[in-house]
């Protein structure tokens, strides 16, 4: 049977897409690298400054006022641009562990990841966690050792750490010439040439590159070049020779060295992503069946964000296109509610900047505007048969606070803001019978989520909030709602209800929980596992 023109287009266009996330420990340079990639693709003419530099503008992917003030990324950002005929969908993520849920959602929407390592710090706790998530999801990872322009560790030591601590075989594609802090350029392992970089003012423009053959490099760089060649050969002899199959099965990682703030090594990374990163593949639905790329349109919502355009206060749902051709104006079905959703306002996002999207293909990320009916994890589809993709995980909270409006005359705005933040997943919203609807309980993976929630309630909804921390650190699911009274009667525990109707038992600590269980052996408590993933 001959496929339709739209179906052929979907499959062919998917082959031109590369969708990846940039992930790492905080302050490893994710947002700086994101902007450097955009600079090399010539979609911006000048890079913003590194976070926190007074008097200089922030990077394009950090659009929230709070991000610019703190110099950290606290929400994911989507950027789309074209490079050498390939459409890049690049997702920058928050590195702080308090926002790990946002990062994990983004990883569900990409086909590969770029992991940044700080040349001085190597594998840090959050980096280890993210590697584990990528491995669990089978996401191929490219490693970019950043900040080689500053003093740091030995290149061989960093590569050994990848293998010894997480069992990921490093396969260097470039190798630094000059020790960390004295970066001269890189050895291109594939052809043995030397790529020498020239600094630009503040790293604001793409670094000039000069390519020399091995003889010229030896004459210019001497001992630094000899050492780089010997170390690269040692890596190849010890199992680090490049093998694409090992990258695709997530058992090994290509490694590159550079300095994102100076735009050194960034072009190598961008070229590698175009050449090597996997294109979109059929996504598995809830029944375990792959959704063909040329099937009717489908997508899933991995992020909901309000406040990107302060002038309009609109809500944007970010959706990854999984199959078919998306055309603006089409009416799709929300698999969760079974209700139709009109796609009149759809935008392509480049940081905070937007432009209207008329067509999108598998691998693309689209921003659905005025999407108050959509929630994180929703599946959208057109045509038949219906499809639904697995939901996204909800993580067990570890911090709790009662939220009340600081100004009772702003109670309506407070309620609207609370509901909005909960729908975006900024915090989990819990209902407490002890306090009533006027004082909801916020639950968070990390305490910085409370700061973000309070900041946004005050600045986006004009409703300053008072947050009273609760002394709970242990949470379990209450299997039998009839046992609520047992928990509420405890001196160091209470029951709250989640938005999905689940009853959660909160305890001051694990000891308090064990004491109550000894008093009531029949109390049925279940671990709160990540749900929906």
Binding residues for GTP: 92-96
Letter string b/e over residues 386-406, b meaning 16 or more CB atoms within 10 A of that residue's CB? ebbbbbbbbbbbebbbbbbbe
Q: How far is CA 356 from the centre of its chain?
A: 23
Q: How far apart are CA 101 and CA 178, in angstroms?
A: 38
Say if CB 337 and CB 365 are below 8 A apart.
Answer: no
Residue of 374, 302, 390 lying closest to 332 (CA atoms): 374
For residue 292, the tally of other CB atoms under 10 A from its CB is 17
Q: How far apart are CA 185 and CA 256, in angstroms?
A: 11
Question: Which residues sit in the known binding site?
Answer: 92-96
**DSSP 8-state class, residue 291:** E
Query: Tokens at residue 346, please?
Result: 């759809």
Say if CB 404 and CB 469 are below 8 A apart.
Answer: no
- Beta-carbon contacts of residue 357 (< 8 Å; ≥ 6 apart): 326, 328, 346, 347, 348, 366, 367
DSSP string, 24-48: -STTSSHHHHHHHHHHHTTSSSSPP
Q: How far apart are CA 329 and CA 323, in angstroms?
A: 17
Each as own residue / partner, the long-range contacts of residues 70-76 (CB below 8 Å, 24 or more positions apart, any chain) are: 72/26, 72/27, 72/96, 73/30, 73/31, 74/99, 74/448, 74/452, 75/99, 75/102, 75/305, 76/102, 76/103, 76/105, 76/106, 76/303
- Beta-carbon contacts of residue 380 (< 8 Å; ≥ 6 apart): 297, 298, 299, 300, 301, 319, 332, 333, 334, 335, 341, 374
Q: Which helix (DSSP H) or strand (DSSP E) does residue 100 occupy?
A: helix 100-107
Residue of 272, 357, 374, 358 lying closest to 318 (CA atoms): 374
- Beta-carbon contacts of residue 131 (< 8 Å; ≥ 6 apart): 115, 123, 141, 166, 168
What are the CA-CA distances from residue 20 to residues 134, 178, 247, 322 (Å)?
A: 12, 30, 14, 14
């Amino acid at each position: 049977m001959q496929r339709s023109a739209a179906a052929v287009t979907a499959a062919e266009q998917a082959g031109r897409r590369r969708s990846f996330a940039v992930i790492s420990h905080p302050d490893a340079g994710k947002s700086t690298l994101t902007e450097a990639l955009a600079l090399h693709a010539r979609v911006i003419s000048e890079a913003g400054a590194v976070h926190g530099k007074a008097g200089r503008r922030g990077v394009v992917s950090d659009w929230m006022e709070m991000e610019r003030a703190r110099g950290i990324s606290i929400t994911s950002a989507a950027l789309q641009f074209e490079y050498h005929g390939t459409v890049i969908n690049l997702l920058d993520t928050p590195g702080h562990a308090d926002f790990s849920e946002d990062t994990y959602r983004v990883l569900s929407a990409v086909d590969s990841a770029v992991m940044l390592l700080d040349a001085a710090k190597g594998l840090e706790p959050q980096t280890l966690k993210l590697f584990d998530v990528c491995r669990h999801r089978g996401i191929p990872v490219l490693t970019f050792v950043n900040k080689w322009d500053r003093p740091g560790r030995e290149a061989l030591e960093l590569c050994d750490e990848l293998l010894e601590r997480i069992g990921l075989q490093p396969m260097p594609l470039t190798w630094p010439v000059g020790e960390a802090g004295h970066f001269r350029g890189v050895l291109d392992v594939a052809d043995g040439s030397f790529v020498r970089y020239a600094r630009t003012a503040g790293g604001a423009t793409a670094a000039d590159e000069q390519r020399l053959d091995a003889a010229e490099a030896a004459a210019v760089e001497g001992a630094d070049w000899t050492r780089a060649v010997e170390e690269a050969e040692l890596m190849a002899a010890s199992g680090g020779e490049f093998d694409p199959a090992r990258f695709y099965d997530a058992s090994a990682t290509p490694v590159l060295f550079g300095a994102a703030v100076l735009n050194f090594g960034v072009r190598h990374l961008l070229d590698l992503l175009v050449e090597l990163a996997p294109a979109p593949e059929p996504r598995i639905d809830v029944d375990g069946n792959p959704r063909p790329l040329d099937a009717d349109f489908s997508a899933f919502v991995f992020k909901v964000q309000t406040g990107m355009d302060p002038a309009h206060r609109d809500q944007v749902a970010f959706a990854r296109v999984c199959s078919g051709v998306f055309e603006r104006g089409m009416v799709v079905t929300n698999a969760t509610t079974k209700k139709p959703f009109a796609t009149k306002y759809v935008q392509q996002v480049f940081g905070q900047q937007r432009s209207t999207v008329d067509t999108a293909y598998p691998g693309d990320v689209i921003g659905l505007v005025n999407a108050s009916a959509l929630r994180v994890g929703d599946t959208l589809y057109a045509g038949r048969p219906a499809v639904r993709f697995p939901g996204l995980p909800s993580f067990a909270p570890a911090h709790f606070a009662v939220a009340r409006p600081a100004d009772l005359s702003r109670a309506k705005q407070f309620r609207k803001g609370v509901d909005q933040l909960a729908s975006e997943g900024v915090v989990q919203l819990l209902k407490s019978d002890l306090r009533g609807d006027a004082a909801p309980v916020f639950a968070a993976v990390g305490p910085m989520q409370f700061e973000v929630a309070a900041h946004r309630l005050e600045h986006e909804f004009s409703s300053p909030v008072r947050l009273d921390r609760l002394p709970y650190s242990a949470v379990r699911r209450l299997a039998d709602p009839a046992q609520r009274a047992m928990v509420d009667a405890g001196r160091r525990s209470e029951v709250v209800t989640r938005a999905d109707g689940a009853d959660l038992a909160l305890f001051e600590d694990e000891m308090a929980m064990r004491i109550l269980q000894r008093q009531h052996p029949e109390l049925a408590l279940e671990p709160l596992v990540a749900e929906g993933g």
